[in-house]
Amino acid sequence: MVTLNFEFRRTLLLSLFLSLILLLPISSSSAHGNLFIMIDPSHGGSDRGVQLSDDVSEKDVTLAIALMIQKELSSMQSLRVQLTRNSDRAMSIQEREQLVRKTAPDLFISLHINAGFGKKASGFEIYFPGFRGQKQNETGDSSVILKDMERNKYLNDSVRLAYILQKNLEQVFPRKGRGLREASMPVLDGVAKPSLVIELGFASSPEDRKKLMDKDIQSAIAKAIGRSIGELF
């Protein structure tokens, strides 16, 4: 009898877990069955984000793509799409957090552009809120258990969308996916909603920089994200 090594067992269990997640239905908290999607173009106003050229910065590219996503999804009557900002204006993390709490979207996606790690670092990354940050319920309180179950459902939905997005963005950036990553999201602290952060590429990479400033590539990114949201729901 051959003993499976630890890494193989872990990979097998993770694959099984993700397969089960992909089979689960996603729930909607919106009235009348309409799904409310919030797209967050990062930075804005005096907060330019990373610089792609003398005239173009992260705030410009994320806003352009967010507006394209909104237009892309406008034909789907079952979805309602709102941007955290639809113009070049400053918006703090606290303001974004308050907006999320007030409007309670069914899905939140934040768009960013990466930088650093030298000119050779390139490709897109997708972050989902972490499972590790959850506190264990040692009291057996049923209300806490129900809240944990609800939070796990949202986390599962986030992972499902992350895998769908990775597949569709690979069609725009072949072999450029840098994988899915688990991370906390300050703007969503304490808010149990399916959510993702997408780092669309590296401003420090000449290749990525050129692509991200290309209007056709921006449109392809928006279509890939819009298609992914449609597949999820």
**CA 112 – CA 171 distance, rounded (Å):** 19
Nearest Cα to 194, choosing from 232, 140, 141?
232
Q: What is the DSSP letter of 177?
A: E
Measured on CA atoms in the order 182, 188, 193, 199, is the torsion positive or negative?
A: negative
pTM: 0.81
- Identity at 206, one-letter amino acid code: P
Backbone angles phi, psi at 111, to 5 degrees: -100, 130
Domains of the chain: 32-232 (3.40.630.40)
Residue 5 pLDDT grade (very low, low, confident, very high; cuts 50, 70, 90) = low
Edge-to-edge strand ranges of the sheet holding 177-182: 79-83, 35-41, 107-114, 195-202, 124-128, 177-182
Q: Rank 2-16, 42-56, 183-197 by mean pLDDT and report only the highest.
A: 42-56
pLDDT in tens, 27-40: 555 544 589 999 99
pLDDT in tens, 35-68: 999 999 999 999 999 999 999 999 999 999 999 9
Element (H, E) at 171: helix 142-172
**CA 71 – CA 75 distance, rounded (Å):** 8
